[in-house]
Chains A and B, each alone.
Chain A
Amino acid sequence: MSATTADESSELRQPRGQDKPGRGQAVRHPGRKGRSPIFDAPTRTGLVFRYLTLTVVLVVSIGPMLWELSTALKSKTEDVFTQNIQLLPKHPTLDNFGQVQRTIPVWHFAFNSLTVAFINVAGNIIGATLAGYVLARLRFKGRKLLLGVFVSTLILPAEVTVISKLQFVNNLGLGDTLLGVCLPDMIAMINVLLMRNAFLALPKEVEEAAIIDGANAVQRLLYVGLPAVKGVLSVISIFAFIGAWDDFLWPLLVLQTPDKLTLTVGLSYLDGQWSHDPRVIAAGTMIALIPILALFLGLQRYFFRGVAEGAIKG
């Protein structure tokens, strides 16, 4: 594993800076931002074509989800297997959700997933903020080397070490527990690096002034550093939440007892093992899908920012 480097870390900070200066690309000309007649006079056919294509892509991307929702709302008496396709249920009903609840302890699973997600968010906020601040703002021996170790862990896909982590968690006596599910991702190395990049952007002078005022490192972190990195902190919180809520392989390996399962694992058992009714499976799926989409709709500007800043899950 190569030890590290300013390049790699600057790449993290600036994923959009693919345009290497000196390769002759991509210098933005402030004066050229304005509209030009060639490009911006939208012709009527051009616009119609654009909206048509957008609509086709829209149907492809959310159509399957709408069909699942429709299936979840269809009553027992309505044929869901017919070639006579009905998107809108004839007699919309929530019965299927009740059926899910009778088949698996779905709310308990959801609560388990929430617990894991919140523990992961808390762990990442605390662990990544502290370490990110130190790596960005404090000078000490071995800083470069340590940063290199943090960066080099990123090339290791989570799946590769999953067995070793399983053995470790089992040896700790945390096999088949929610804490065991939380543990490995409670502080993700990518988040430490994202927080470091956020703290790097802070102007030196502000901190020097705080040092002169006699503030110690922890006070500077709390009162000077933190207020400036709120945005990135929200990004890593949201990504930690989604990561935990959506995770499947790890909880599948750790958990065995049926009442301890997280929602994703519980749903995978619902399908085929405990139910064969597509309406019920669809209702279960919606219970996992709707909260996360609602969260996304509420906080979407952070998502797009997070992706742009390189908060790649994995």
Chain B
Amino acid sequence: MRSHRFYTPWLLMLPALIWLALFSVWPAINTITLSFTNVHQLTGGHFIGFKNYWLLWHDPHIRDAIVNTVIFMVVCVPLLTMLPLLLALLVQRQIPGIAFFRTAFYFPVIASAVTVALIWKWLLDDRGLVNNLAQSMGFIHKTIPFLTDRWLLLLSAVALTVWKGLGYYMVLYMSALGSVRRDLHEAAAVDGAGSVRRFWSVTVPGVRGTMVLIAVLIAVNAMRVFTELYILGGRTGGVGGQDVSIVMLVQQAASGGDGRLGYASAISVFLFFLTAIPLLFLTRLNKNAQEES
């Protein structure tokens, strides 16, 4: 019995195929093509070879962006890999009211990056809550310039990213913790292992797969950061314009009537190769794991 005519699958898939072609495959190819041209927002352009990449190599802003990205990764990867696991352990046990806590911990994830960045901007303002609290308790005597100092602004954006990500990775860990063997925990406890010891030798190995996946996700997301720095730094990357991310450079290059789409595309291609590194690392790790077993 025939289940369908030969053209039925293609007909039903047509909308998705159009979107696949026009908004995934074509933009990917076109980004590479554009990166070799001097196309602007309003005017066409022509092939200029590797000039955009040469400009990129000599662009002082890209160095700032790379430094910032590295700092983002170095802080975010360990913190967001470990803290959400501890948090997941904390909310895992069914105790009265735990559903309320889980829900509340997820609030920052649901809120848009723009809203939470505006909320943090007010908190970290020279005359905002954090400075006032620290002063009234006598910790500091001068205001801390969270939003105007080049490094403090960067660290504020990193802290915001960690804060916003906690709940998300907590939920990822919660489902992974369900598969950690309970009897191993009990056996370890009987053998006299304390809770810290059990955490490192039972829980962590039990969620290792999820942990690697989460670390890779965080690394990729650290490279894609935009909104947090854009809002906290007042659209321009802070006072000196040094608190920029790679995506911010893409946005800056493309904005306005004279938006340099060609140059912005070259930065995009660079960003793609950067995000591919953690993903390749993951594939490699998975392969090794498969060969082992």
Contact = CB atoms under 8 A, between A and B. Distances in A.
B207 A18 contact: yes
Interface string A275-303: 00010011011001100110011001001
B179 A26 contact: yes
A289 B115 contact: yes
B4 A85 contact: no
A217 B107 contact: no
Contact of B93 (A15, A50, A186, A307): A50
A164 B105 contact: no
Contact of B25 (A42, A143, A153, A162): A153
B19 A187 contact: yes
Nearest to A287: B115
Contact of A163 (B172, B176, B268, B293): B268
Which of A163, A218, A288 has its CB near the most chain B CB atoms (within 10 A)? A163
Contact of A267 (B9, B87, B114, B179): B114
B20 A189 contact: yes
A155 B279 contact: yes
Contacts of B181: 25-29
A130 B271 contact: no
Contacts of B166: 61
Interface in A130-184: 130-131, 133-135, 138-140, 143, 146, 149-150, 153, 155-157, 159-168, 170, 183-184
Contact of A293 (B8, B107, B113): B107
Interface of B: 1, 3-4, 6, 8-10, 12-13, 15-17, 19-20, 22-28, 30-31, 34, 39, 41, 87, 90-91, 93, 95, 98, 101, 103-108, 110-116, 118-123, 125, 127-129, 132-133, 135-136, 163, 166-168, 171-172, 174-176, 178-183, 185-186, 189-190, 205-210, 213, 217, 220-221, 223-224, 226-227, 230-231, 234-235, 247, 250-251, 254-255, 261, 264-265, 268-269, 271-272, 275-276, 279, 283, 289-290, 292-293
Contacts of A133: 12
A103 interface: no
A147 to B, nearest CB: 11
Given A149-B20, A189-B24, A217 B3 contact: yes
Contact of A138 (B8, B34, B183): B8
Contacts of B205: 25
Size range of the interface on A?
35 or more
A99 interface: no
A15 B90 CA distance: 21
A163 B26 CA distance: 12
B175 A293 contact: no
5 closest cross-chain pairs (CB), A and B: A18-B209, A131-B16, A246-B112, A161-B27, A164-B27
Contact of B127 (A42, A51, A81, A192): A81
Given A61-B104, A292-B111, A296-B106, 11 more contacts: A15-B175, A38-B186, A51-B95, A130-B16, A156-B272, A162-B268, A166-B254, A166-B261, A170-B41, A192-B16, A303-B106
A84 B93 contact: no
A211 B178 CA distance: 39
A264 B112 contact: yes
A292 B110 contact: yes
22 contacts: A15-B172, A18-B207, A22-B293, A25-B181, A38-B186, A53-B90, A67-B129, A83-B135, A84-B136, A127-B16, A143-B9, A157-B271, A161-B23, A161-B31, A164-B28, A246-B112, A268-B114, A271-B121, A282-B122, A292-B110, A312-B217, A314-B224
Q: Mostly helix, strand, loop or mixed at chain B's interface?
A: helix
B206 A26 contact: yes
A304 interface: yes
A85 B132 contact: yes
A130 B12 contact: yes
Given A128-B16, A282-B122, A18 B176 contact: yes
B95 A42 contact: yes
Given A39-B186, A53-B90, A165 B175 contact: no
Contacts of A300: 103, 106
Contacts of A308: 171-172, 174-175
A64 interface: yes
Given A36-B186, A248-B114, A289-B115, A168 B289 contact: no
A228 interface: no
A33 interface: yes
A212 B1 contact: yes
A16 B221 contact: no
A41 to B, nearest CB: 12
Contacts of A27: 181
Given A20-B209, A38-B186, A168-B30, A54 B101 contact: yes
Given A20-B293, A303-B106, A288 B16 contact: no
A16 B175 contact: yes
Given A130-B13, A138-B4, A248-B227, A162 B250 contact: yes
A57 interface: yes
A20 B209 CA distance: 8
B87 A57 contact: yes
Given A249-B226, A285-B118, A307-B168, A134 B9 contact: yes
